[in-house]
Amino acid sequence: MAQGFSKQSRIFVAGHRGMIGSAFVRHFNSAGFDQLITRDHQALELTDKQAVAAFFAEQRPDVVILAAGKVGGIVENQSYPADFITRNLEIQTNVIHSAHRFGVQRLLLFGSSCMYPRECPQPMAESALLTGKPEVTSMAYAMAKLAGVQMCLAYNQQYGEQRFIPVIPNSVYGPNDNFDPRSGHVLSALINRLHTAQRAGDALTTLWGSGTPRREFVYADDLAAACHLLLATDLSTVELPINIGCGYDLSIRELAQLIASVIGYQGDIGWDTSKPDGTLRKLLDSSRINALGWRPATALEAGIRHTYASFLESSHA
């Protein structure tokens, strides 16, 4: 087990109520870790440098899971780019700096597949980062995440330790996702749209774009398991960052049909090609994490069923 990580570790899960953060809470609780530290937005404002420093000074976490940040779909990214870049840069800077200052042994930061160039060889290897321009519709978010990844690498380089671990998961989904059709990511937004159409008995529901872009999806609990492996592994000779993907993709059209089948929607699905598609394909080369022994455990249909059950339990349904 890597130095600084055990069942007695004090683990701060930043963003514990979100999709990724809540998956880590479930994972660590089930694995017997009983020193989890959480704070909601009201108790700790991560954009407040002094508040973050005071929290780290008091709590002294050994491990940090940085799952907090501003996320959203194409519409949100296009509408609020200043919010996306500013809030994410502030959170990352404050948390990483305090983690270094107060001796955190391991920190996990989540990048995004949107950091890769829009035109990129598939599957996308980590070496392709910064070889081209990211997709314009998510540029502000991508630049903030690229800065976070580079910040982790810079601290590791300057201080000679692989303490800060940037990972790049692809299209994470699962319970506690944001199901808002305007601000959510594609899978969760489609669940809401097709659920609404099914309940209304609509003969036709029209979705954004052409349906031809291809995406790779990772179930949030599988991501937590992959990151547990990284925390428990000696990474001194492992090149960072590390992609985390399931290894296969499908078109948005195929995804919509699969979700419709899970929900029971039997109407027709149309496509509004006047709306943006985003990047045409985003499939990760996950050979680095695979070489360490990780494989996803959750098939896409099963993950969608779990996610839809979470949606039905929420106020959205």
Per-residue pLDDT, averaged over 285-295, amounts to 98
Task: Answer whether residue 9 shows pLDDT above 80.
Answer: yes
- Residue by residue, DSSP assigns 184-238 as S-HHHHHHHHHHHHHHHT-SEEEEES-S--EE--EEHHHHHHHHHHHHTS--TTS
Per-residue pLDDT, averaged over 45-54, amounts to 98
- % residues pLDDT > 70 (the chain): 98
Task: Answer whether residue 72 shows pLDDT above 90.
Answer: no
The predicted pLDDT at position 316 comes to 54
Query: What does the pLDDT look like over 109-166, one tens digit per residue?
Result: 999 999 999 999 999 999 999 999 999 989 999 999 999 999 999 999 999 999 999 9
Fold exhibited by the domain 11-176+217-248+283-298: Rossmann fold (3.40.50)
**β-pair partners for 66:** 14, 109
The residue ranges of every structural domain in the chain are 11-176+217-248+283-298
Radius of gyration of the chain, Cα coordinates, nearest whole angstrom:
19
The predicted pLDDT at position 114 comes to 93
Confidence of residue 317 (pLDDT cuts 50, 70, 90): low
Confidence of residue 1 (pLDDT cuts 50, 70, 90): very low
Q: How far is CA 118 from CA 86, 129, 135, 245, 273, in A?
A: 22, 11, 5, 18, 19
Structure tokens at 97: 């700096």
The predicted pLDDT at position 3 comes to 60
Dihedral pair phi/psi, residue 30, rounded to 5°: -70, -25
Catalytic, 155? Answer: no
Structure tokens at 178: 């944001």
The separation between the first and the last C-alpha atoms of the chain, rounded to the nearest angstrom, is 43
Active-site position among 80, 116, 141, 159: 141
Confidence of residue 2 (pLDDT cuts 50, 70, 90): low
Using an 8 Å Cβ cutoff, are 207 and 272 in contact?
A: yes
- Distance, in Å, from the CA atom of 139 to the CA atom of 118, rounded to the nearest integer, reads 10
The predicted pLDDT at position 239 comes to 97
